[in-house]
């Protein structure tokens, strides 16, 4: 799900350190949200910063001029406009860096049909509106065009919304709370999108309470249940892990050899001609749960599997192995050069399960070996 922010959601939070934006961006990866901001909103933020500086400059300018004259004995050369412009230029990369840090992607200015935009202005089609006999709304119109530029035409007659537009201003985009204005809905339909393609969220506090907080609580509930009991709904993580991390998996992955050198990828060089004898039940060590954009649930687990195996070690190499890691010798007279030994290998794996929204069914799964201790 794409989540687009309007300027009023972050108004005055020039460094984007406020609790609302930091909470949203930290939760977004777990909830399957891609947070975006139109480039025009970035420009509005820069302009707000300029206005804030101007509001506070009169007193500052007077102090600087006075202290400069006291310090130098001459008239101050402080130039307000130069100071403002430099401060704004310094702010722009700071804003860009913070957006990148938060994982917020910028929607660039879209190509716009100027004649169509002027027609909307003249006819007062949303988001244009008249204030004291003057039409306003160009920046809002560019925000809307930016949103339309990331819409995708439907592949079915009925689909869930693609974009949630967070905008606390109901005057420009809404007909009522959380309801997109009919002018804008008509535009979506005329452009070939479903009328529910964009969902307006104007009650921001309610959005955080009922969606962000509630979904985080649900995901934490799934994680805690899996850590405590190993089960949630019809999903049994130990059972699913055992289906994957079996002898066939270990034969194919643990005993994998490099195509060029012929050496084993995961096993030490002294281990030759290994045979897997038994694979123990996997132990779940860590679990992370997050929701994907299509509302399915991704469960990631770190597991430890003890694999019992026998193999051959060159006799001279055997005594170079650390005492606490030496395998047990099954036959020290296999031939003149090799010992036949047995040992237990600790295999760390990363498991990934993609399930239905309510974690009732596994849709896909993946596993890879991340570490091996022989």
pLDDT tens digits, one per residue of 167-210? 988 788 988 899 999 999 999 999 999 999 999 999 998 999 88
DSSP state of 7: G
Residue 165 confidence (pLDDT): 95
What is the pLDDT averaged over residues 282-292?
94
Residue 110 confidence (pLDDT): 93
110 close to 146: Cβ distance less than 8 angstroms: yes
Handedness of CA 356, 361, 364, 370 (dihedral sign): positive
Record the pTM. Answer: 0.74
Reported as a single tens digit per residue, the pLDDT across 80-102 is 788 889 999 999 999 999 999 99
pLDDT top residue among 8 and 75: 8
Task: Kindly tell me if the per-residue pLDDT of 143 is higher than 80.
Answer: yes
Task: Kindly tell me if the per-residue pLDDT of 282 is higher than 70.
Answer: yes
Displacement of CA 257 from its chain's centroid (Å): 35
What is the pLDDT averaged over residues 156-172?
87
Residue 300 confidence (pLDDT): 96
CA–CA gap between residue 65 and residue 71 (Å, rounded): 10
CA–CA gap between residue 368 and residue 306 (Å, rounded): 15
List CB contacts of 121: < 8 A, sequence separation 6 or more. Answer: 128, 135, 137, 138, 141
Task: Kindly tell me if the per-residue pLDDT of 79 is higher than 90.
Answer: no
Task: Kindly tell me if the per-residue pLDDT of 108 is higher than 70.
Answer: yes
Strands 362-373 and 338-355, bridge-based pairing: antiparallel
305, β-bridge pairs: 347
For residue 80, what are its two tokens?
């307000």
Reported as a single tens digit per residue, the pLDDT across 296-351 is 999 999 999 999 999 999 998 988 888 888 899 999 888 889 999 999 999 999 99
Residue 241 confidence (pLDDT): 96
Residue 77 confidence (pLDDT): 64
Percentage of the chain modeled with pLDDT above 70:
94
Displacement of CA 348 from its chain's centroid (Å): 25
31 close to 164: Cβ distance less than 8 angstroms: no
Task: Kindly tell me if the per-residue pLDDT of 66 is higher than 70.
Answer: no
Residue 76 confidence (pLDDT): 64
Collapse the DSSP code of 311 into the 3-class scheme (helix H, G, I; strand E, B; otherwise coil) and give the result.
Answer: strand
Task: Kindly tell me if the per-residue pLDDT of 243 is higher than 70.
Answer: yes
Average pLDDT of the chain to the nearest whole number: 89
CA dist 329 → 123, 133, 312, 315, 335 (Å): 89, 94, 9, 11, 13
What is the pLDDT averaged over residues 66-77?
68
Task: Kindly tell me if the per-residue pLDDT of 365 is higher than 90.
Answer: yes
- Residue extents of the structural domains in the chain: 2-208, 232-373
Task: Kindly tell me if the per-residue pLDDT of 61 is higher than 90.
Answer: no
CA–CA gap between residue 290 and residue 346 (Å, rounded): 28
Question: Top-level CATH class of 2-208?
Answer: alpha beta
CA dist 230 → 207, 215, 224 (Å): 31, 20, 9
């Amino acid at each position: 799900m794409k989540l687009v922010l309007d300027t009023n959601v972050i108004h005055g939070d020039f460094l984007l350190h406020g609790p609302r934006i930091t909470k949203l961006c930290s939760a977004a990866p777990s909830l399957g949200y891609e947070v975006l901001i139109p480039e025009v909103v970035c420009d509005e933020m820069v302009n707000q910063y300029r206005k804030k500086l101007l509001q506070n400059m009169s007193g500052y300018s007077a102090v600087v001029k006075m202290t400069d004259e006291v310090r130098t004995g001459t008239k101050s050369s402080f130039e307000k406009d130069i100071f403002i412009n430099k401060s704004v230029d310094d702010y722009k990369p700071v804003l860009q860096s913070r957006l990148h840090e938060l994982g917020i992607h910028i929607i660039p200015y879209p190509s716009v049909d100027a004649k169509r935009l002027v027609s909307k202005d003249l006819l007062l089609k949303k988001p244009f509106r008249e204030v004291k006999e003057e039409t306003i709304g160009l920046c809002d119109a560019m925000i809307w065009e930016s949103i339309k530029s990331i819409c995708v035409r439907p592949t079915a007659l009925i689909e869930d919304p693609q974009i949630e537009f967070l905008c606390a201003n109901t005057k420009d985009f809404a007909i009522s709370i959380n309801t997109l204005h009919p002018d804008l809905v008509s535009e979506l339909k005329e452009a070939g999108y479903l009328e529910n393609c964009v969902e307006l969220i104007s009650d921001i506090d309610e959005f955080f309470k009922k969606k962000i907080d509630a979904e985080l609580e649900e995901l934490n509930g799934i994680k805690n249940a899996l850590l405590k009991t190993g089960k949630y709904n019809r999903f049994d993580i130990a059972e699913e892990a055992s289906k994957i991390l079996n002898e066939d998996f270990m034969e194919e992955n643990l005993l994998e050899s490099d195509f060029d050198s012929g050496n084993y990828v995961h096993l030490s060089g002294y281990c030759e001609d290994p045979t897997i004898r038994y694979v123990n039940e996997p132990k779940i060590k860590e679990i992370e749960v997050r929701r994907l954009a299509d509302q399915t649930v991704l469960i990631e687990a770190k597991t430890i599997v003890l694999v019992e195996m026998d193999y051959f070690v060159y006799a001279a190499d055997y005594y170079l192995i650390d005492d606490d890691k030496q395998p047990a010798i099954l036959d020290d007279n296999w031939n003149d050069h090799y010992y036949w030994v047995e040992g237990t290998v600790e295999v760390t794996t990363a498991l990934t399960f993609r399930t239905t929204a309510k974690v009732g069914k596994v849709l896909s799964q993946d596993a890879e070996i991340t570490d091996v201790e022989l």
